[in-house]
Amino acid sequence: MSNIYGKNIKISIFGQSHSPAIGVTVDGLPSGFAIDFDELRSFMQRRAPGQASYATSRIEADEPEFISGLVDGITCGAPLTAIIRNNDIRSSDYDNIRDVPRPSHADYTAYVKYGEAHDVRGGGAFSGRMTAPLCIAGGICLQLLKREGIFVTAHIIQIGNKKTEEQMISAIEEAKKAGDSLGGIVECAATGLPAGIGAPMFEGMENRIASIIFGIPAIKGIEFGNGFSAADLKGSQNNDAFIFEQVGQGDIKTRTNNHGGILGGITSGMPLIFRVAIKPTPSIAMEQDSVSLSEMKPVKLKIEGRHDPCIVPRAVPCVEAAAAIAIYDALLD
Amino acid sequence: MSNIYGKNIKISIFGQSHSPAIGVTVDGLPSGFAIDFDELRSFMQRRAPGQASYATSRIEADEPEFISGLVDGITCGAPLTAIIRNNDIRSSDYDNIRDVPRPSHADYTAYVKYGEAHDVRGGGAFSGRMTAPLCIAGGICLQLLKREGIFVTAHIIQIGNKKTEEQMISAIEEAKKAGDSLGGIVECAATGLPAGIGAPMFEGMENRIASIIFGIPAIKGIEFGNGFSAADLKGSQNNDAFIFEQVGQGDIKTRTNNHGGILGGITSGMPLIFRVAIKPTPSIAMEQDSVSLSEMKPVKLKIEGRHDPCIVPRAVPCVEAAAAIAIYDALLD
Amino acid sequence: MSNIYGKNIKISIFGQSHSPAIGVTVDGLPSGFAIDFDELRSFMQRRAPGQASYATSRIEADEPEFISGLVDGITCGAPLTAIIRNNDIRSSDYDNIRDVPRPSHADYTAYVKYGEAHDVRGGGAFSGRMTAPLCIAGGICLQLLKREGIFVTAHIIQIGNKKTEEQMISAIEEAKKAGDSLGGIVECAATGLPAGIGAPMFEGMENRIASIIFGIPAIKGIEFGNGFSAADLKGSQNNDAFIFEQVGQGDIKTRTNNHGGILGGITSGMPLIFRVAIKPTPSIAMEQDSVSLSEMKPVKLKIEGRHDPCIVPRAVPCVEAAAAIAIYDALLD
Amino acid sequence: MSNIYGKNIKISIFGQSHSPAIGVTVDGLPSGFAIDFDELRSFMQRRAPGQASYATSRIEADEPEFISGLVDGITCGAPLTAIIRNNDIRSSDYDNIRDVPRPSHADYTAYVKYGEAHDVRGGGAFSGRMTAPLCIAGGICLQLLKREGIFVTAHIIQIGNKKTEEQMISAIEEAKKAGDSLGGIVECAATGLPAGIGAPMFEGMENRIASIIFGIPAIKGIEFGNGFSAADLKGSQNNDAFIFEQVGQGDIKTRTNNHGGILGGITSGMPLIFRVAIKPTPSIAMEQDSVSLSEMKPVKLKIEGRHDPCIVPRAVPCVEAAAAIAIYDALLD
């Protein structure tokens, strides 16, 4: 259900920010695959907090323990499960949230859906921390794809309205000082994908990627190829002529890639390109208007605790992970 | 699979542009519901071609025949199936396409996936015509939602780069004259939705809406609330303060709706807002570069036949239909 | 949902006994497959009523019309849909049933679930007639399996407590004269299946076969290999020794096949064997005790109309169809 | 996939007999439910080995650790995950199995499906030990059902061909002495179920129960109500007359319950009754014929280690667990 993704492989994510552990089960992996644990660790460290001066100071070891699905580090065909213990938990930071929902967080909607019993500590199951198990599954899929010559990489193209690295970093530092936050745009490309992957209608590559990508908190938009800017173009400008890779020979390619590697939901053999919009982190230090659920009256809220002024850099591997899962799953059709 | 959508209701679409019929099966509708067939017919006519001077001249009666699921026009609990006969079929228009894929159409990717046997006539199962059965299912869901006080409506906010109706119409007429085409942006709003619908992770409202919306051909992007423009804002600008509907009383609302009615995948009680990007119709009259699949050489392609210069107006009810299905399905959680 | 089966292919059945039509959509068939329509027709005639002197006299032409998924009789990759019109409908036969549920039919449970609106005519969506679309899908899967050297065949091993053909026929004729009915046991075997198909836990061959087989009305039990009689045996009697096909060479087989070709949910390469129990048709001419739903008082019920005294012979191709669908679906894992 | 069950709740089981841990994730539980952990522990102890003189002497603490889904022992709406560490592991017992598959075990079929990499230790993911996480999920569902006044209980009706408790125990002791094993039949009843639960076709209660029940290793058959013995009866004998609970008043019931509480896949309000056939444990001490996979020649196999002569008593709570999951899931439709 809400925590399960996939058609040919099934990713099942569990845990809350402050439960004893978080983790993921992946069913449908091929047996006999030797996971490169060093590579997986490096991949996961890109998502881990506490790396940059401007980032949250919470330290997550985030070392996954693989409790099933492996024999001597090699997949055995059984569902693979990895868990990560939640260690550095300061629940007291979050006491106020039970009563006063944080603007643009899921506190209020979770309360309406799950009632008093829902886990408010650290955002519960809505926490960005839940992207760590996503990255375990995605990191393994990235390795499986690499074996097929398929590479999925994402990068930041914009933070706030800044487009150079230097500007981005100083904007984040300013936001941190101001107790504010910034969003951004991440672009992801998958290269080496053969033509013919995906399906029309509800199993198109766009559908499959979008339906996992929106599982990453804070993502509010996705576009493929030219995306929203295609609306400004004429057909004669946006259409991608078919050509041969080399003049008169080789594979069929398109001269331009406005379609982002997907036509009719199916890969065309051109790089699959999409961009996602990430909203500014809702946790800011500035005082905000909210309501008291117990007293049903307006209150001022000041969120204490440690928070990233910008989660966009940490979202980059999450986007890669999600895309890798969707693409690997489609490849198994 | 690829033709099935939904968790609590299941929409199963079938047919090709030139098969004897197209249609849809909807399982999971409540029994005892009297469909308003006049309203459904009106709704479907908004999608039908041949209404505007600039649109395709193919005439589709598009009168659905309900072959199961009803007794005297009232749902009986059994799966509802409706079919529409394909009558006005001129297959000869499409002879050339088998060999020479149309740029930015699914001809080439369908050929790679399904081989020689795939149905090239009129785009086969990739045809925009397949949105007619989507509109049957969606039209019924719109009626079911209305009964709950929920209204889903979409409108065009941009065609090409034009934003007023007058400009849009003249731009379409110009494109028609030039044998070219235009895309656009459609915005959709659902009002009356209670808070608490949806779920986190992969069953968020964004995931569910996106995974049906990309089933509509030509849609290349979706954004919720502020969407991509949220990337430009600071948290203090993008966050939506919680307030009471009236000062000090009433339901909890947010002062602004930058989040588009969804927080953590769950509805907040504010209007659910999203926008979709529609690429310019790839069928244009101008000569384009393509390849001959049989001779494996570059060729010039000139697409004959009748085609819309702009399918954006006809996409509006399709977006409503898709959104209504996703929302009604979520409401049944 | 209730009308959809399958993991790699999706069978979606629709219709009621007295709706305008019944039918089936099959998604996931390979493209380029030429259906043998004569063979399919022969297969479906084995299910059709009106063939034996003792059977129901309702005449069903049951000629399916293929409305999508084919081009010139060859699968094109799009979902295949076939419909059968319901012609010979005498609704007046069933007037009494709305108020007085027939013992051991679904009339009462359908009423509780779907309310007044449920379709009582001819059993609605619970009718044995719904096995006709199952046989269309199954007949195609049988052809696809045959291409792989896999054959699925079923036969009657018992009607009432009779085990020879002669006894069975005279028992059915006696039951017909008495206005009574008989059940029986059907055995099904799939030969030519490679080892290694299926999966442990909830995707075992037993799970997958059982979950479609119980979609056939009147089936109340299923057993694989020795089934219930394994309970009487010791491990040393029930275990199947591994051997080579020929002394010291060839494929690995088992000396006996008490396991029915499935170990741990996965095929062993031995014939897959199962048996199903079919209850006696609940429609009998004898007076029975029931209740009036409108007056909430006991009443006597006498069912008028034409009914088979024994549907077991007609169930044989349905069992083959269901098994073929489950096996073909598993083969695509 | 293979490890996931359910429509409204999703049970996802993971682990192997000798992996670091086994466990289960349950998504879709209501929030705010206080699990009775003592009751759950008692329930799980009925499944645990080492309780009777005749049972396996492997000691399993089987104390689940709940790593997500709870706050202070109360469900919070997030997926619940519980794990059990595998402690008492003597892998050396199983060295021979990699080369020589045990008759009527899954060793051979797992090898064919997953190759050399599959986990042979203790039966890997095919081990009866995997029913422990099933019992965690099922134990919670039993508590949720009890809250609704629904009780699911199973009992042994036959071990070998013995039907009294005394005979059964001495038969097991004899089998143990002889190094042999016994199967049996377990009957399960669910009482308190309202009428109207389930659906026709592929979501009938029979389909849903069968598709989880066959996830329990060693189960080879299932029958509902009269099941296979219905084949021996006439309609007039097998039909269940509708009556009022008390003469002329009260709920509608049936005089007899040959249908086992299910008509047309939907509960009738009568007790839901089914029986399962459990084959004799394939692990026996006696020498058996098998083959060497590496040398491709016949060999004699003698299985060392500790094994139950009869797992039927331990299967009883597993059957209850599986039935409770299926029924609770259907109740949420």
In this predicted model, what pLDDT tens digit does every residue of C126-181 receive, in sequence order?
Answer: 999 999 999 999 999 999 999 999 999 999 999 999 999 999 999 999 999 999 99
- Among B58-72, C94-108, D198-212, D250-264, name the one with the lowest average pLDDT: B58-72
- Give the pLDDT band of residue C50 (cuts 50, 70, 90): low
The pLDDT of residue B61: 62
Contacts of residue B22 in chain C, CB cutoff 8 Å? 68
Show residues of chain C in contact with D266, CB under 8 Å.
106, 109-110, 112-113
Place D48 in a pLDDT band, splitting at 50, 70 and 90.
Answer: confident
What ranges in D8-106 are assigned the alpha helix state H? Answer: 37-47
Taking contacts as CB-CB distances below 8 angstroms, the residues of chain B near C75 are 117
In this predicted structure, what is the pLDDT of residue B91?
58
Are C182 and D235 within 8 A, CB to CB? yes
Distance CA D150, CA D134 (A): 19
Interface test with A, best of D74, D81, D91, D118 (most A CBs within 10 A): D81
B74-84 per-residue burial string, b: 16 or more CB within 10 A, e: under 16? ebbbbbbbbbb
Chain A interface disruption, residue of B233, B238, B246, most A CBs within 10 A: B238
pLDDT number for residue A156: 98
Encode pLDDT of C287-296 as tens digits.
999 999 999 8
Q: A touches which chains (3+ CB pairs under 8 A)? A: B, D
Amino acid at A192: G
Residue D207 to residue C201, Cβ atoms within 8 A: no
Q: List chain C residues with CB under 8 Å of B10.
A: 1, 3-4, 12
- Return the pLDDT at B276: 98
**8 Å CB contact between B257 and A209:** no
**Percentage of chain D lying above the pLDDT 70 cut:** 93
A124: chain D residues, CB-CB within 8 Å: 76, 78
Q: A with D: how many residue pairs have Cβ under 8 Å apart?
A: 177
- Does C115 contact B14 at a Cβ distance shorter than 8 Å? no
Query: What share of chain A in percent tops pLDDT 70?
Result: 93
Tens-digit pLDDT profile for residues B8-44:
999 999 999 999 999 999 999 999 999 999 999 999 9
Would you say A122 and A128 are in contact if contact means Cβ atoms under 8 Å apart? no
Nearest residue in chain C measured CA to CA from D331: C113
With a cut of 60, say whether residue C1 has pLDDT above it. Answer: no
Check residue A1 and give its pLDDT: 57
Which candidate from C4, C20, C79 shows the least CB-CB separation from B67? C20
- Report pLDDT digits (tens) over A168-217: 999 999 999 999 999 999 999 999 999 999 999 999 999 999 999 999 99
Token reading at A92: 């007291």
How high does pLDDT run on average in chain A? Answer: 93
For residue B270, what pLDDT band results from cuts at 50, 70 and 90?
very high
- Identify the chains in contact with B, defined as 3+ C-beta pairs within 8 A: A, C
CB B177 within 8 A of CB A234: no
| Residues of A whose CB is below 8 A from B278 | 230-231
More confident call, C167 vs D90 = C167
Question: Is A118 in Cβ contact with D76 (below 8 Å)?
Answer: yes
- Among the residue ranges A191-200, B217-226, C215-224, D239-248, the one predicted with the least confidence is D239-248
What confidence score (pLDDT) does residue D89 get? 62
Residue D6 pLDDT exceeds 70: yes
Whether residue A14 and residue D78 make contact (CB cut-off 8 A), yes or no, is yes
How many other C-beta atoms lie within 10 A of the C-beta of residue D332? 14
Tokens coding A77: 């065909």
Interface residue of C5, C156, C201, C299 to substitute, partner D, most D CBs within 10 Å = C201
List residues bridging with B186 in a β-sheet: B156, B276
Q: List CB contacts (< 8 A) between B89 and chain C.
A: none
Facing residue for B211 by CB, picked from A4, A207, A289: A207
CB contact under 8 A, B13 and A201: yes
Residues of D in contact with A78 (CB under 8 A): 14-16, 19, 119, 124-125
Mutate to test the interface with B, among C81, C95, C126 (most CBs of B within 10 A): C81
CA distance B281 to chain C (A): 22
Q: Strands, DSSP E only, in chain C?
A: 4-5, 10-14, 21-27, 65-68, 70-71, 74-75, 80-85, 151-159, 184-191, 219-224, 242-246, 249-254, 262-263, 266-267, 272-278, 288-292, 297-301
- Is the pLDDT score of A292 beyond 60? yes
pLDDT in the model for residue B96: 75
Residue B92 clears pLDDT 80, i.e. is over it = no
pLDDT band at A52 (very low <50, low <70, confident <90, very high): low
3-state secondary structure of B116: helix
Q: What rounded mean pLDDT belongs to chain D? A: 93
Residue B308, pLDDT score: 86
Q: Report the pLDDT averaged over residues B138-152.
A: 98
Contacts of C240 in chain D (CB under 8 A): 103-104
Nearest chain B residue to A267 by CA: give it.
B109
What's the rounded Cα separation, in Å, for the pair A5 and A75? 20
The answer to whether the CB atoms of C65 and B25 lie below 8 A apart is no
The Cα C188–Cα C183 span in angstroms is: 16
Q: Which residues in chain C touch residue D156, judged by CB atoms under 8 angstroms apart?
A: none
- Distance in angstroms (rounded) separating the CA atoms of residues B81 and B71: 12
Q: What integer pLDDT is reported at residue C246 of this predicted model?
A: 75
pLDDT in tens, A221-255: 999 999 999 999 999 999 999 999 876 667 999 99
Q: What is the pLDDT of residues D16-41, one digit of tens each?
A: 999 999 999 999 999 999 999 999 99
Q: Determine the pLDDT at residue B2.
A: 84
Look up residue A283 and give its two tokens: 């946790």
Residues of A in contact with B282 (CB under 8 A): 235, 238-239
Q: What is the mean pLDDT of residues A30-34?
A: 98
User: Is A14–D75 a contact, with Cβ atoms under 8 angstroms apart?
Assistant: no
Task: Give per-residue pLDDT as tens, B186-237.
Answer: 999 999 999 999 999 999 999 999 999 999 999 999 999 999 999 999 999 9
Q: What is the structure's pLDDT at C122? A: 86
- Comparing D282 with B247, which gets the higher pLDDT? D282
Q: Is the pLDDT of residue C232 over 70?
A: yes
Which three-class secondary structure state does DSSP give residue C290? strand
Rg (CA), chain A: 21
pLDDT for A62: 79
Q: What is the pLDDT of residues A124-161, one digit of tens each?
A: 999 999 999 999 999 999 999 999 999 999 999 999 99
Q: Are D272 and D266 in contact (CB under 8 A)?
A: no
The minimum CA-CA distance between D177 and chain C, rounded to whole Å, is: 13
Model confidence pTM above 0.90: yes
Closest Cβ–Cβ partner in D2, D67, D70 for A83: D67
Instruction: Show residues of chain A in contact with D1, CB under 8 Å.
Output: 8, 10, 27-28
Does the beta-carbon distance from D240 to C103 stay under 8 Å?
yes
**From the CA of D279, how many Å to the nearest CA of chain C?**
5
User: Could A19 and D68 be called an inter-chain contact, meaning their C-beta atoms sit closer than 8 Å?
Assistant: yes
Mean pLDDT for A33-58 is 81
Residue type, A51: Q
What pLDDT is recorded for position D53? 55
Closest residue, chain B, to A162 (C-alpha): B232
Q: Which of D201, D227, D288 faces C3 most closely, judged by CB atoms?
A: D201
Residues from chain C that touch D273, judged by Cβ atoms under 8 A, are: none
Region C225-243: what's the mean pLDDT? Answer: 97
Closest Cα in chain D, distance from residue C40 (Å):
22
Q: Which of A1, A4, A78 sits opposite D124 (nearest CB)?
A: A78
- State whether C79 and B114 contact (CB < 8 Å): no
pLDDT of residue B180: 96
- Reported ipTM: 0.96
pLDDT of res. A53: 54
d(CA A225, CA B70): 43
- Residue C249 clears pLDDT 90, i.e. is over it: no
What is residue C169's predicted lDDT score, i.e. its pLDDT? 96
- Of B232, B157, B300, B277, give the one whose Cα is nearest residue A258: B277
CA distance C136 to C39: 11
- Is pLDDT at D304 greater than 60 in this prediction? yes
- Nearest by CB: C204 against D159, D214, D244: D214
Range with the lowest mean pLDDT among B250-254, B263-267, B316-320, D229-233? B250-254
Q: Given an 8 Å threshold on Cβ–Cβ distance, is A14 in contact with D67?
A: yes
Residue of C1, C27, C113 with shortest CB distance to B1 = C27
Q: So what's the pLDDT on residue A186?
A: 98
Burial class of residue B178, CB neighbours in 10 A (0-12, 13-18, 19+): middle
Residue C303: band (very low, low, confident or very high) from pLDDT cuts 50, 70, 90: confident
Give buried/exposed letters for B188-203 (b at 16+ CB in 10 A, else e).
bbbeebebbbbbbbbb
Contact A264 B110 (CB under 8 A): yes
